[in-house]
Each structure stands twice: as structure tokens, then as C-alpha cells.
């Protein structure tokens, strides 16, 4: 079985809340340290620890480095400082928007699958054609056209590959016969030339 999703809500039981705080705090420190090492960036984490009366706050990597980073952050212009700041409300809105987009995507995929099954049932004769509604007919037509576009794209791709393969086929190489050099003595050449003149 997969890991169960934890509900994000206040933990009423004190012992469980302490254990969760300790575990998640260590995970945050670990992730911040890994981010700093992997990407060569400066990071700091400040956590208010209500269970540690001696210190109250826990800081990573050190108090001095955290102070330097905070001074640098506070010294930035306010517009630039708040450019990538996300408050809990905005974060919740982003998560809600992503969840809604994912839901719409899944609903469309399910509807398309239902229409494909319906189309195959009509094609196989499992349903009578006079039972089809205008909405179903429109949906089946949309699915059929989409599948035809996929098939046509596949055909075009295969045709293009075949054309490229045909054009790249090497033509048979015919090598011309080399000229044959005839070596003659000088006097024989003169006789041949003289015979040509007489003719």
C-alpha cells in the first residue's frame, strides 16, 4: 500500500505534536543544507522552537550567517524584495488553481475515453445507431476526427522517412577505365607520324 496522505491540521496530542515538530524541523534543515551545497547558494532557516526553553529559536547554518542574509534582504528595494514573496493565502490559491486544472484535465480524459468506448460499441453493433443522441454523435465525431489526425500524422512521418531513405540511397559508382599508356620507341613514333603525313 502507498503512503497515506497526512492531513494538514493542528495536532492535538502533545507527544505526537512534539515528535512531528522534531522530525519535520530536521527535514527542513536537511533540505536547506542540501540546496546550499548542490546549488552553491546561501540559505538560512530560523524556526521558533516552543519546546526548547533554553534557546527559543533554532538557526541554520549559524546565527551570524542568518543575520548577514537578513540584512542583505532588508537592504533591498521593497519592490524587488516582495517580487517572489508568497504568503500562505497566495500559496493556497495557487494549489487550489492547480488542483482545479488537474481535475478539468482528468474529466476531459475520462469523457474522451467514454466516447471512444461508445464509438467502438456502435461500430461493433452492440448498440443500435438509432439510439445515439445528438450529443453522443457530436462527441463521437470529435473523437473520430482526433484519431484520424493522429493516424494521418503517423502516415506523414513514415512517408517522410521513406522519402529521405530513398534520396539518401547511394547511386551505383561506375569507375571510368583508366587510359592505357602506350610506350613506343622514338623511331617508331616518327614512322607513324610520317605515315600519317603521306596518307
What are the sequence ranges of the domains in the chain?
Answer: 14-80, 101-164
Check: CB of residue 60 under 8 Å from CB of residue 37: no
Please determine, looking at this structure, whether the domain spanning 14-80 carries the CATH number 3.40.1810.10: yes
Strands 45-48 and 57-60: antiparallel
Close Cβ partners of 91 (under 8 Å, ≥ 6 residues apart): none
More confident residue, 96 or 194: 96
Out of 12-26, 112-126, 163-177, the most confident range is 12-26
Q: What pLDDT is stored for residue 181 in this prediction?
A: 42
Alpha carbon distance 198, 79 (integer Å): 107
**pTM of the predicted structure, to 2 decimals:** 0.42
* Angle formed at CA 59 by CA 25 and CA 62, multiple of 5 degrees: 135
pLDDT band at 2 (very low <50, low <70, confident <90, very high): low
> What's the rounded mean pLDDT across residues 8-29?
91
Burial class of residue 112 (count of CB atoms within 10 Å of its CB; 0-12, 13-18, 19+): middle
More confident residue, 166 or 136: 136
> What's the rounded mean pLDDT across residues 126-154?
86
Alpha carbon distance 187, 199 (integer Å): 18
**pLDDT tens column, 36-75:** 999 999 999 999 888 876 667 889 888 899 999 988 888 8
Burial class of residue 91 (count of CB atoms within 10 Å of its CB; 0-12, 13-18, 19+): exposed
CA gyration radius, the chain = 40
pLDDT band at 93 (very low <50, low <70, confident <90, very high): confident
Amino acid at each position: 500500500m502507498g503512503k497515506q496522505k497526512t492531513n494538514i491540521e493542528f495536532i492535538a496530542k502533545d507527544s505526537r505534536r512534539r515528535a512531528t515538530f522534531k522530525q519535520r524541523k530536521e527535514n527542513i534543515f536537511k533540505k536547506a543544507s542540501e540546496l546550499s551545497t548542490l546549488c552553491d547558494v546561501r540559505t538560512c532557516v530560523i524556526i521558533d522552537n516552543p519546546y526548547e526553553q533554553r534557546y527559543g529559536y533554532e538557526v541554520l547554518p549559524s546565527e551570524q550567517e542568518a543575520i548577514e542574509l537578513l540584512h542583505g534582504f532588508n537592504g533591498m528595494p521593497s519592490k524587488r524584495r516582495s517580487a517572489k514573496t508568497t504568503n500562505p493565502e497566495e500559496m493556497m490559491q495557487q494549489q487550489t488553481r492547480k488542483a482545479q486544472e488537474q481535475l478539468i484535465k482528468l474529466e476531459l480524459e475520462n469523457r474522451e475515453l467514454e466516447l471512444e468506448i461508445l464509438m467502438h460499441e456502435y461500430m461493433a453493433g452492440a448498440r443500435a445507431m438509432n439510439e445515439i443522441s445528438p450529443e453522443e454523435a457530436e462527441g463521437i465525431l470529435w473523437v473520430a476526427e482526433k484519431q484520424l489526425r493522429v493516424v494521418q500524422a503517423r502516415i506523414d512521418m513514415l512517408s517522410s522517412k521513406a522519402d529521405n531513405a530513398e534520396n539518401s540511397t547511394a547511386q551505383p559508382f561506375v569507375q571510368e577505365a583508366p587510359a592505357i599508356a602506350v610506350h613506343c620507341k622514338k623511331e617508331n613514333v616518327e614512322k607513324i607520324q610520317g605515315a600519317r603525313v603521306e596518307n
